[in-house]
A and B are shown apart, each in its own frame.
Chain A
Amino acid sequence: MAASSTTVSSAGPSRPAPNFLERLRGGDEAAYVITFIAAASILLVTGLLVYELFINSADARAKFGWAFLFTQTWDPVNDQFGALPFIYGTLVTSFLALLMGIPLGVGAAIFLAELAPPKISDALTFLIELLAAVPSVIYGLLGIFVLVPILRVIEPSLRAVLGWTPFFSGPFYGVSLFSAGVVLAVMIIPFIISISREVILSVPGDQREAALALGATRWETTWDVVVPYAKKGIMGSIFLALARALGETMAVTMVVGNDPKIKASLFAPGYSIAAVIANEFTEATGKLYTSALIELGLVLFALTIVINGVARLLVMGADKYKT
């Protein structure tokens, strides 16, 4: 139902497209060049970053090769390093965060943009956006002092309902992959809400009016007309949220248990790439140790490439069904 876009339409008397001199005078060329340089410098910065990561991880890459990705050991004393437990932890916690964060975030965004009265919507949005301002460290501390005890209380009920799966089995110490997932979910929700809400608000009024005129309820208008129109923007906000979850450092390390082991249960402690780098980089003496940590940074970067690629394919696939 999205209106297709055209650039210059022929409203009014037709005129030829501006030629080079006209564009130059109108500032078009300058605008193009300036914005192009800005966009290109993003490539430059990222390229430089990857370069630095690559160069400084040379020792570890030379020593471990591809096996680094599949080794489970992490032994600084004996200089044996493997990335698998951290890759696992990063993926699991981020996935959990999205699983919990997307419904809550998009739901709230819909409510704030479509269903709530304007003044309440503004006030609540304002409050929610401030959640993005809470420092990661504070999330971590509140995670330890508030979330973990709460999870300890609700854990038996969770186990009762879902304990038959391998994901909720085994002992629960409070700090775990699950706890980290919950903290991450809370952290990414404001991003999803804020951007989705703005995008939904930007959907032209006539789309809604048309649906309402046809007799749709408010919810139907929202869900069947407005949200699909805003889908791309909503997905954009989810990407942003995902990226944040993947790279989140402080809050995760305080509640994930910091145990580089792989277990099926979400109740078990785990570790993430960002967390181990934060914990150990400050103390990593010795070239191989530092280099291994930097290689982990590189691995995370590669992971982000893959995940983004997959997500993008999904979005492009979804696009096909949009009219």
Chain B
Amino acid sequence: MRDLHTLRRKIVNAVMLTITGLCTLFAAGTLVFILGYLFIHGGSSLTLDFFTKLPTPVGEAGGGMANAIVGSAKLLALAMVVGVPIGFLGGVYLAEFGGSTFSFVIRYVTDLLNGVPSIVIGIFAYTLIVLPQKHFSTLAGGLALGVMMIPIAVRSSEEFLRAIPNSLREGAVALGASKAKAILTVVIPAAKNGIMTGIMLNLARVAGETAPLLFTSFGNRFWSPGWEQPTSALPVMIFTYAISPYEDWHRQAWSAGFVLLTLVLAVNIFARGVLAKKKHVAR
């Protein structure tokens, strides 16, 4: 009787290993498929021109998305400046300092903000910045993306900080550190991996957002110096080209998608290069 029960448990163990493994394979496989699809359909447009030239009118060969790449980079930089400090510090507050009611309210409101459709955030930035200024700008676009980054930054920072066991905090305080010092020198570094992961995921998500940019950074066929003029951005180009009637533009859209993905890949690799340790379950 005992052996049968053990056998059953062992079988369950093996089955669940397989099932969860399949789930993982599905998830990982989807990405490989997407990357492959983008490459196959857009690979032919991936020339050096793509990275260095400005867009040409339809039907003309050559041309590229250099201004879109730079534009996206500027928008993301601005988004990080807006979103990460507020999000991260807010997460620190929730994990380390929060009282119960105010924290509940903050978490709730953060989740609400996260559920706002990206186009509504775009409309928000539009009414707040574009209309009063009477022109579209990189500034408005960066702000819209920054606002989109806040909720995820808060939630993920909080989750990872919370996951650090209290024994670390207690240890630091017991050694005479103030609470702030304990957080700064012990807790945050311990949660560093998770927090960076969160920021990367966040950045990755907003890098591909189109809707909030339609009314804020608008789009630009030319270079956009400074922060006050409309600017081109990769996702907007992808969208515009993909729903156009032209085969050539379709290929460029797929290429742009591929480039966007690989750029994010590069950022991810960089982030992990900076992070030294990786935590693993002791077996």
Contacts and interface: CB of A to CB of B under 8 A. Distances in A.
Contacts of A134: 31, 34, 208, 257, 261
Contacts of B194: 198, 202
B264 A39 contact: no
Which of B26, B94, B119, B200 is most buried by chain A, counting CB atoms within 10 A of its CB? B119
Interface residues of A, number: 115
A163 interface: no
Contacts of A223: 16
Contacts of B30: 131, 186
B226 to A, nearest CB: 25
Contacts of B210: 135-137, 250
Nearest to A13: B174
B220 interface: no
B73 to A, nearest CB: 15
B281 A201 contact: yes
Interface in A249-291: 249-250, 273-274, 277-278, 281-282
B27 A219 contact: no
Contacts of A246: 115, 117
Given A132-B201, A218-B13, A138 B208 contact: yes
B89 interface: yes
Contacts of A35: 89-90, 92-93, 96-97
Contacts of A292: none
Contacts of B117: 246-249, 273-274, 277-278, 297, 300
The majority secondary structure among interface residues of chain B is: helix
Which of B86, B120, B128, B174 is most buried by chain A, counting CB atoms within 10 A of its CB? B120
B19 interface: yes
A11 to B, nearest CB: 5
Given A35-B89, A205-B282, A27 B163 contact: no
Interface string B85-125: 11111101110111000100110111111111111110110
Contacts of B58: none
Interface stretch (A61-69, A73-81, A100-108, A173-181): A100-108
B12 A233 contact: no
Which of B111, B166, B278, B280 is most buried by chain A, counting CB atoms within 10 A of its CB? B111
Interface in A277-318: 277-278, 281-282, 294, 297, 300-301, 304-305, 307-309, 312
A49 B204 CA distance: 24
B101 to A, nearest CB: 13
A52 interface: yes
Contacts of B215: 282
A233 B34 CA distance: 29
A294 B165 contact: no
Nearest to B97: A32
A7 B174 CA distance: 11
A122 interface: yes
B244 to A, nearest CB: 12
Contacts of A277: 117, 119-120
A8 interface: yes
Interface stretch (B43-51, B63-71, B133-141, B148-156): B148-156
Contacts, number: 336
A205 B261 contact: no
A56 B127 contact: yes
Interface in B203-255: 204-205, 207-211, 214-215, 234-235, 238-239, 242, 253
Nearest to A110: B20
Contacts of A142: 34, 37
Contact of A219 (B16, B123, B257): B16
Per CB-CB distance, the 5 closest pairs between chain A and chain B, nearest first, are A26-B178, A135-B208, A133-B204, A38-B89, A202-B163
Interface of B: 9-10, 12-13, 16-17, 19-21, 23-24, 26-28, 30-32, 34, 37-38, 85-90, 92-94, 96-98, 102, 105-106, 108-121, 123-124, 127-128, 147, 150-152, 154-156, 159-160, 162-166, 169-171, 173-174, 177-181, 183-184, 193-194, 197-198, 200-201, 204-205, 207-211, 214-215, 234-235, 238-239, 242, 253, 257, 260-261, 264-265, 268, 272, 278-282
Interface of A: 3, 5-9, 11-12, 18, 22-23, 25-28, 30-32, 34-39, 41-43, 45-46, 48-49, 52-53, 56, 103-105, 107-108, 110-116, 118, 121-122, 124, 126-138, 141-142, 146, 186, 189-191, 193-195, 198-199, 201-202, 204-205, 208-209, 217-220, 223, 233, 236-237, 239-240, 242-244, 246-250, 273-274, 277-278, 281-282, 294, 297, 300-301, 304-305, 307-309, 312
